[in-house]
Amino acid sequence: MATRSLWRTRAKLAVAATAFCGGGAAAAAIATSDDPATALKVFTIVPRRLLRDSITAASIVFDYEYSLWGLPEGSNERAKIKHEVHLRSARKLQELCFRNGGIYIKLGQHIGQLEYLVPQEYVQTMRASMLNRCPVSTYDQVCEVFKKELGDTPDKVFDEFDPKPIASASLAQVHVARTHDGQKVAVKVSIFVQHTHMTDTAAADQATVEFLVNTLHWLFPSFDYRWLVAEIRESLPKELDFLIEAKNSVKCLENFRKLSPHIADYVYAPKVHWSLSTSKLLTMEFMDGAQVNDVITIRRLGIQPNEVARLVSRTFAEMIFKHGFVHCDPHAANLLVRPLPSGKRSIFGKKKPQLILLDHGLYKELDFSTRFSYASLWRALVFADANEIKVNSVKLGAGEDLYALFAGILTMKPWNRVIDPAVDHLVLKGTDSDRSELQMYASQYFPQISKLLSRLPRNILLMLKTNDCLRAVNNSLLQGSSLETFLIIGKVSSEAVFEAKMMQKKSLFRWLIIQLEELLLEARLLAMQMALWLLQVKKALTWT
């Protein structure tokens, strides 16, 4: 009973401290507002959110302590109860994110990608609801945005405008419209100006969430999600400016045309209608296509899912290792697939896919040193080179004590599998045993994982987020990962390392060494490709 009493005291302290200090932080944000009416609106909204946050946090923590109290570690009963608590808590957190909206939904989206850190119940709950099924704003609120940004209502600006959005996310919702010259377009409307108080509320929400996470970390030192809040705080201003998003989409396609012309035709982004776009409204070419995780529709289009998986892997490998300008939010709702407009087909008569990239708000530029080290690390991971994995992990900020854990997070494999010389050592099968193994490691090494994530630089954290999103996409397309995906990563990262070394060559002898290294790597990749082909033949024979 003493344990329960102590827990109740801690929970009450967390609620009180969060409400008091979070209120002070929110009040500071509100005080900067130039509009007294806006400040008053924020003042009435923020306390309700603070109270809601505090009650939800205390309820979740109390549920864990009370429900698991006295149950022996490792017992079947504890595992069963823990699963139920995970599920209840994930739903409470989901409800909190939806009720508060905006930044909270963004936080929920991030949690939905953290397979290596949070229980599967949270991942599945957040992924199922946080990508494009978020709460929507009313048409009247959309009209307010149009009048403020373009000086008139949607029905005047466009020939046709559907008041019902086709998608809604954390920061915006999308409507279908038709311009006066007959072009079908998608109109992205920021939710942060649909009420005049939303921008100030966003600042208060940031302060509140940050204080809540800090408080929980103070009560439970192993619970450290401060890095996640810092990441959202850094990326949010850019995501709220749609003109930055529009420019990112243009630069992305230019990079493919200049730096990766061999796949430029296979990657597309909607054209922007600049005269109908502002920092809070973005009008783009409307795109028809299947969402990348909709395997049934992809097959119906005459496209093979494994072709899509290869294209996704190649596209983002080129961005990360060669362009250094990376789309860091490639979750399923932001990737569409359609048949290549040229009508080109594979040797088996299947249509070739084209990948359509949506939502270009969150990009990260990697400097030469970071890009070179990250490409070298992935090349080492594919070839199971333990020394190079350590060297490049340390260069990227993981440290000599946590480099093996960093490699494990990137590949979702334990260290002994990461350095296994077997050709398929990194392949995830997507089975229940794979998932339970990952959850076991996440639980076992939670403090170390939190320490690593708080240590890594922001650009590497965004690469992890991108990696998590791509893994989820591959899992939906292939029910796991494939050796071919890792061969693509190995090939593109090797090409990037080779190109970087050639830029730095200082003598003919060095040039010869680099060329020899490249030939040896090409030979290893060819051997792995042959092994893949033999595995596919063996599998085909087994099925027959």
**What averages of pLDDT result for each successive group of 10 residues across the chain (544 residues)?**
39 43 47 54 67 86 90 88 92 87 78 78 83 76 93 95 88 93 95 51 69 71 70 74 95 97 97 96 96 94 93 96 95 94 80 96 94 95 93 95 92 87 71 64 78 89 90 83 82 89 72 74 73 65 58
Answer yes or no: are the C-beta atoms of 484 and 532 closer than 8 Å: yes
- Position 7 scores a pLDDT of 39
Residue 526: both structure tokens together: 């060819």
Q: How many CA atoms does the CB half-sphere of 326 hold within 13 Å?
A: 30
Answer yes or no: are the C-beta atoms of 167 and 359 closer than 8 Å: no
Query: What residues are labeled active site?
Result: 329
Co-location of 413 and 317 in the same domain: no
Residue 335: both structure tokens together: 């990737």
Co-location of 361 and 374 in the same domain: no
Among the three residues 365, 381, 396, which one is the final residue of a domain in this structure? 365
Please, where are the H alpha helices in 101-165? 103-111, 120-129, 139-150, 154-157
The number of domains in the chain is 3
Task: Name the residue with tokens 């730096």.
Answer: 259
In a domain, 495, yes or no: yes
Co-location of 412 and 478 in the same domain: yes
pTM confidence score: 0.80
Co-location of 421 and 339 in the same domain: no
Q: Are strands 325-327 and 363-365 parallel, antiparallel or unpaired?
A: antiparallel
Q: How many CB atoms lie within 10 A of CB 409?
A: 24
Domain that holds residue 330: 242-272+287-365
Co-location of 325 and 350 in the same domain: yes
Q: What are the beta bridge partners of residue 339?
A: 353
In a domain, 165, yes or no: no
- Position 128 scores a pLDDT of 78
Co-location of 318 and 392 in the same domain: no
Among the three residues 320, 347, 365, which one is the final residue of a domain in this structure? 365
In a domain, 116, yes or no: yes
E strand or H helix at 7: helix 2-31
Co-location of 49 and 98 in the same domain: yes
- Position 371 scores a pLDDT of 95
In a domain, 491, yes or no: yes
In a domain, 112, yes or no: yes
Co-location of 71 and 220 in the same domain: yes
- Position 538 scores a pLDDT of 66
Co-location of 377 and 456 in the same domain: yes
Q: What are the beta bridge partners of residue 176?
A: 186
Query: In whole angstroms, how large is the CA radius of gyration of the chain?
Result: 25
Co-location of 302 and 401 in the same domain: no
Please, where are the H alpha helices in 151-241? 154-157, 198-219, 226-239
- Position 258 scores a pLDDT of 96
In a domain, 15, yes or no: no
